[in-house]
């Protein structure tokens, strides 16, 4: 059941108050006039007039299991009645059980024993992972990908490739060394996958070839760089899926050079790509896994990381190494536990593969009908539409922005009545619709999404 709208103030008055009292610094404000929403259910958002919008982005993949998922909401309500508040220095059952479930998932996926610790948002958990690496290695230099996004705290901004996130704030620590992401549709080296023989990985290997490349001391047998931060499918960068052997080849180099692999699953974890962890698609074992967003289906801000035992044992990483008042807050752990229990009941591996394949087939047909769609691809229900000029290559950000705004304006005539469409734009050229629908999206809702996209690309 969708809740009744709770309109209190008229929109003009709210906008006046927003203009006066709200900082814009904590949002991305893509639209010139950001939209108010009033309700949500399943795959849909509802505006202040109760008009529906199909959401194909689900709060940057935080709401993988549908808006107002009843099982998860009921668990939070029960926690509100039982133990809504507790300082993190004391224990509560949900915290222990969430840690056990996530550590068990890592043991299943990677065959490694480890531990889980919590924080509040994705970037904060990334910061914690940086502390783990620094603590274990005594070194501070990291590698990461161009187009990567790991958050906007000062530390996370150093491994996020955009200078835009650092320009006005200066450097907090050491900016990462950024390696080109294997973006085959726009290969940074101008190669083709069928003939390149993973030239991009070979370029990484070359960094360590001689001491003059400044990464490796062959006398000490030591690398100056001690961790590589990766998103298995590059998220904000445009849902870019690397070629099948990329990560296994990269991992061989990292093993040889004793460089830790930190796997940022904040956007792609929890079955977005059809596997519990997105990195499982590529058959490599990370040393640290960082997660957030869909961990509570977006219900409560809690994030965390798993690390293999030698990095995170209490002897190595003792109490007080990190802490936040709200780190393992009981509403968050209750929501996370309910989310993990929900996942256990669903068989998402099969479901996401099937829905993703169906969605991708429809997107491929859509691409045939519109010359301004340069590329579509997907892994599970992480799907992408690259918006281009009719040459199917030159990025067209302006067209992507127009379609985004027209979707948000709502009232598009469809077979199910007037409807809006919620999209998100990412990509190295800000011309990619990064589609992250509910993992429970129905075939009818996928068809509706295609109908809406068809209309918007035609107008
Ligand atoms: C891959 C990835 N890492 C880190 C973050 C930062 O998470 P948060 O916004 O919760 O700080 C995000 C957020 O979009 C993300 O997609």
The pLDDT value given to residue 397: 98
The pLDDT value given to residue 297: 98
Tally of residues, the chain? 459
**Residue-wise pLDDT tens digits, 59-76:** 999 999 999 999 999 999
How does DSSP classify residue 166?
T
Q: Are residues 425 and 359 in the same domain?
A: yes
CB atoms < 10 A from the CB of 415, how many?
9
Q: Which of 57, 64, 151 to mutate to test the pocket of ligand 1 (most atoms within 8 A of CB)?
A: 151
The pLDDT value given to residue 172: 85
* Cα(125) to centroid(ligand 1), Å: 9
Please work out whether the CB of residue 66 comes within 6 Å of at least one atom of ligand 1: no
CATH number of residue 190's parent domain: 3.40.640.10
Ligand 1 atom with the smallest distance to the CA of 265 is 1
Q: Are residues 98 and 242 in the same domain?
A: yes
Average pLDDT on 383-409 reads 98
Region of residue 239 (left: phi > 0; alpha: psi -120 to 50; beta: else): left
Can you name the residues that pair with 240 across neighbouring β-strands?
234
Q: Are residues 157 and 47 in the same domain?
A: no
Of the residues 344, 379, 407, which one is the last residue of a structural domain? 344
Please work out whether the CB of residue 426 comes within 6 Å of at least one atom of ligand 1: no
Q: Are residues 115 and 168 in the same domain?
A: yes
* Cα(60) to centroid(ligand 1), Å: 9
CB atoms < 10 A from the CB of 14, how many?
14
Q: Are residues 381 and 288 in the same domain?
A: no
Of the residues 344, 374, 389, which one is the last residue of a structural domain? 344
* Cα(151) to centroid(ligand 1), Å: 5
**Residue-wise pLDDT tens digits, 81-114:** 999 999 999 999 999 999 999 999 999 999 999 9
Residue 46 lies in a domain: yes
The pLDDT value given to residue 5: 57
**Residue-wise pLDDT tens digits, 11-61:** 999 999 999 999 999 988 778 889 999 999 999 999 999 999 999 999 999
Give the CA angle between residues 155, 157, 161 to the nearest 5°. Answer: 135
Please work out whether the CB of residue 59 comes within 6 Å of at least one atom of ligand 1: no
Q: Are residues 241 and 302 in the same domain?
A: yes
Mean per-residue pLDDT over the chain, rounded: 96
Can you name the residues that pair with 388 across neighbouring β-strands?
395
CB atoms < 10 A from the CB of 393, how many?
12
* Cα(229) to centroid(ligand 1), Å: 13
The pLDDT value given to residue 3: 59
Residue 410 lies in a domain: yes
Q: Give yes or no for residue 130 having a pLDDT over 90.
A: yes
Q: Are residues 210 and 99 in the same domain?
A: yes
Of the residues 325, 344, 363, which one is the last residue of a structural domain? 344
Closest Cα partner for 237 from 277, 207, 264?
264
Judge if pTM exceeds 0.75: yes
The pLDDT value given to residue 74: 98
Average pLDDT on 127-140 reads 97
Instruction: Give the count of domains, the chain.
Output: 2
Region of residue 271 (left: phi > 0; alpha: psi -120 to 50; beta: else): left
The pLDDT value given to residue 28: 83
The kind and range of the H/E element at 446 are helix 443-458
Residue 3 lies in a domain: no
Q: What is the span of the domain harbouring residue 295?
A: 73-344
The pLDDT value given to residue 33: 87
**More confident of the two residues 141 and 213:** 141
């Amino acid at each position: 059941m969708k809740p009744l709208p709770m309109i209190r103030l008229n929109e003009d008055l709210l906008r006046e108050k927003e203009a006066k009292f709200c900082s814009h610094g904590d949002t991305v404000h893509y639209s010139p006039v950001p939209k108010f929403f009033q309700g949500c259910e399943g795959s849909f958002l509802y505006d202040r007039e109760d008009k529906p919008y199909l959401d194909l982005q689900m709060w940057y993949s935080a709401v993988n299991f549908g808006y107002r998922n009843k099982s998860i909401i009921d668990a939070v309500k029960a926690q509100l009645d039982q133990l809504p508040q507790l300082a993190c220095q004391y224990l509560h059952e949900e915290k222990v059980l969430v840690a056990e479930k996530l550590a068990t998932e890592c043991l299943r996926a990677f065959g490694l024993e480890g531990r889980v610790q919590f924080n509040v948002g994705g970037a904060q958990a990334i910061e914690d992972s940086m502390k783990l690496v620094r603590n274990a290695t005594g070194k501070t230099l990291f590698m990461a990908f161009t187009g990567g996004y790991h958050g906007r705290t000062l530390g996370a901004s150093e491994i996020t490739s955009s200078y835009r996130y650092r320009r006005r704030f200066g450097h907090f620590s050491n900016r990462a060394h950024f390696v080109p992401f294997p973006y085959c549709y726009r290969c940074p080296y101008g190669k083709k996958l069928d003939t390149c023989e993973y030239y991009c990985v070979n370029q990484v290997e070359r960094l360590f070839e001689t001491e003059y490349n400044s990464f490796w001391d062959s006398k000490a047998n030591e690398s100056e760089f001690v961790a590589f931060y990766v998103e298995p499918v590059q998220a904000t960068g445009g849902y870019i899926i690397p070629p099948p052997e990329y990560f296994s080849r990269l991992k061989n180099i990292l093993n040889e050079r004793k460089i830790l692999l930190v796997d940022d699953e904040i956007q792609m974890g929890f079955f977005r790509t059809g596997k519990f962890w997105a990195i499982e698609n590529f058959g490599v074992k990370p040393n640290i896994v960082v997660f957030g967003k869909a961990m509570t289906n977006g219900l409560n801000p809690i994030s965390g990381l798993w690390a293999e035992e030698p990095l995170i044992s209490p002897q190595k990483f003792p109490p007080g190494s990190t802490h936040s008042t709200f780190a393992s807050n009981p509403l968050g752990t209750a929501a996370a536990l309910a989310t993990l229990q929900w996942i256990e009941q669903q068989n998402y591996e099969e479901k996401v593969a099937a829905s993703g394949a169906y969605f991708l087939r429809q997107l491929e047909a859509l691409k045939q009908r519109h010359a301004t769609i340069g590329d579509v691809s997907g892994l599970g229900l992480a799907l992408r539409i690259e918006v281009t000029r009719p040459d199917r290559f030159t990025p067209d950000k302006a067209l992507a922005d127009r379609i985004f705004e027209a979707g948000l304006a709502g009232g598009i005539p469809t077979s199910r009545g007037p409807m809006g469409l919620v999209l998100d734009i990412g990509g190295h050229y800000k011309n990619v619709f990064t589609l992250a629908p509910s993992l429970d999206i129905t075939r009818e809702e996928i068809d509706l999404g295609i109908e809406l996209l068809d209309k918007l690309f035609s107008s």
